[in-house]
Amino acid sequence: MKTQVAIIGAGPSGLLLGQLLHHQGIDNVIVERRSGEYVLSRIRAGVLEQGMVDLLREAGVAQRMDAEGLPHDGFELAFDNRRVRVALDELTGGSKVMVYGQTEVTRDLMAAREAVGATTIYEAGNVQPHALDSDCPYITFEKDGETVRLDCDYIAGCDGYHGVSRQSIPKERIKEFEKVYPFGWLGVLSDTPPVSDELIYARHDRGFSLCSMRSATRSRYYLQVPLDEKVENWSDERFWEELKRRLPKEVANKLVTGPSIEKSIAPLRSFVVEPMQYGRLFLVGDAAHIVPPTGAKGLNLAASDVNTLYRLMVKVYQEGRTDLIERYSQTCLKRIWKAERFSWWMTSMLHTFSDQDDFNSRLQLAELDYVTSSEAGLTTIAENYVGLPYEPLE
């Protein structure tokens, strides 16, 4: 087989890149190790920055998002039994975010790819990139008992944190930066109306909690839990009781509870690899970086990497500008580190840490009070939350 761009991984990064390239007449094949149903069964975040919304529109996959997504022009921070609103649009000159689940984004991208007849090979075994530092890279994989070779010009490693792409770069050519937090998030999805029209990020001495949503009838809630916590130890009843204890009283009183339809624990991690390219291989999204979910940046960072790689590829194929593609990593990393900083900061300010003494607890409250009582403070939260501008290519 032969294509122009071989894409490893059919998560949001791979599918969005594939769709944008296809629109520009750049041939691509996606190779994914799981089935399509499995990819869609993963429940992930759901807040899209304006830049990602625009990119989905450019890719021609925004119809359902525009009809069913919930535009949000603010969110709340709760601490010390108080609630402070971060008025995103007023503080940023009109920017908003869109609440629309990653699962739905993925579903729309899959449908669009099928409609244009582009090739995705699901359930591909032992995917391996080869000859990355040559002009003729290729990937191999196993499908239906046979080994298939896919020749290409470039390889996009969109295969997430545990993927093969980053692992195939020689160790001495990259540097990894990592911070692991001593807790995870226990998430529950339920068909109950959201407790509030806007998201609430709540700090409490018992731990952080988040009230989010997927629609007017479907809610997503999270609780900070110790890293070694087991999901089996959390009955629905225990989850709702704990959530109520961590929320301001008037919010807890309004909470509508119901059976969970999904419950899982995710660890929190900050991670970046530099550089994000090796020869003809480009790392995109979770393959290159992870953020803790507190700033809602994971999916959005993947979209900004896709934006950069897509525009650089268009320059290559339409203008012959093979020189610019060398700047992929440095262009992406500028924005990534700012999102890493914001996600780490929000995490540090809102969670309880196992070694937390009263002094640190008071500092956290002072910091929250300080940033939320000044327009400058609120603006710095708002402009990061709606998403910093995409970096120019030249």
Which residues are the active-site residues? 72, 201, 293, 297, 385
Q: Put the strands of the sheet holding 146-151 in their side by side order.
A: 125-130, 138-143, 146-151
Q: Which is nearer to ligand APR, 25 or 267 (CB)?
A: 267
255 binds, among ligand PHB, ligand APR, none (CB under 5 to 8 A by kind): none
Rounded distance, CA 5 to CA 3, Å?
Answer: 6
* Contact between 381 and ligand PHB per CB under 6 A: no
Residue 11 touches which of ligand APR, ligand PHB, none (Cβ within 5-8 Å per kind): ligand APR
Measured from the CB atom, the residue of 201 and 234 that comes closer to ligand PHB is 201
* Nearer to ligand APR among residue 106 and residue 196 (C-beta): 106
Q: Does 72 bind ligand PHB (CB under 6 A)?
A: no
Sequence length of the chain is 394
**Tokens 């890149």 found at:** 17
d(CA 83, CA 202): 9
Of residues 21 and 199, the one with the C-beta less far from ligand PHB: 199
- In the complex with ligand APR, the residue whose CB is nearer, 266 or 365, is 266
**Least spacing, CB of residue 163 vs ligand APR, in Å:** 4
Is residue 203 within 8 A of residue 179, CB to CB? The reply is: no
- 76's CB contacts (< 8 A; 6+ apart) are 83, 84, 85, 86, 196, 198, 199, 200, 201
296 interface partner picked from ligand PHB, ligand APR, none, CB below 5 to 8 A per type: ligand PHB
- Counting contacts by CB under 6 A, is residue 302 touching ligand PHB? no
Q: Is 48 in the site for ligand PHB (CB under 6 A)?
A: no
Interacting residues of 358 by C-beta distance below 8 A, sequence separation 6+:
none
**Would you state the structure tokens that stand for residue 120, as one six-digit string?**
């995705």
Nearer to ligand PHB, 164 or 381 (CB): 381
Query: What's the min distance (Å) between Cβ of 48 and ligand APR?
Result: 11
User: Which CB sits closer to ligand PHB, 29 or 56?
Assistant: 56
Instruction: Report in angstroms how near the CB of residue 73 gets to ligand PHB at its nearest.
Output: 15
DSSP 153: S
Q: How far apart are CA 277 and CA 281, in angstroms?
A: 6
| Least Cβ distance, residue 147 to ligand PHB (angstroms) | 39
Query: Does a cis peptide bond (omega within 30 degrees of 0) precede residue 170?
Result: no
Considering only the stretches 45-53, 104-112, 303-311, 374-382, report the one whose residues sit in contact with ligand PHB under the rule CB under 6 A: 45-53
- What radius of gyration do the chain's Cα atoms show? 21
Q: Give me the least distance between CB of 336 and ligand APR, in Å please.
A: 12
Q: Using CB distances below 5 to 8 A depending on partner kind, what does residue 47 bind out of ligand APR, ligand PHB, none? A: ligand PHB
| Distances from the Cα of 391 to the Cα of 85, 118, 334, 344, 362, angstroms | 29, 29, 8, 21, 37
Q: Is residue 74 within the footprint of ligand PHB (CB under 6 A)?
A: no
Return the closest-CA partner of residue 150 out of 135, 164, 129, 171.
Answer: 129
DSSP H helices in the chain:
12-23, 36-41, 50-58, 63-68, 88-92, 102-116, 164-167, 236-246, 249-254, 298-319, 328-350, 358-372, 375-386
Q: At what angle do helices 358-372 and 328-350 cross, to 10 degrees?
A: 110
321-380 binders of ligand PHB (CB under 6 A): none
The DSSP bridge pattern shows strands 281-283 and 154-157 to be parallel
280 forms beta bridges with: none
Per CB under 6 A, residues contacting ligand APR are 8-14, 31-34, 39, 44-45, 102, 127, 158-160, 162-164, 285-286, 298-299, 302
103 binds ligand PHB (CB under 6 A): no
- In the list 28, 95, 120, 212, the residue contacting ligand PHB (rule: CB under 6 A) is 212
Binding site for ligand PHB (CB under 6 A): 45-47, 199, 212, 220, 293-294, 296
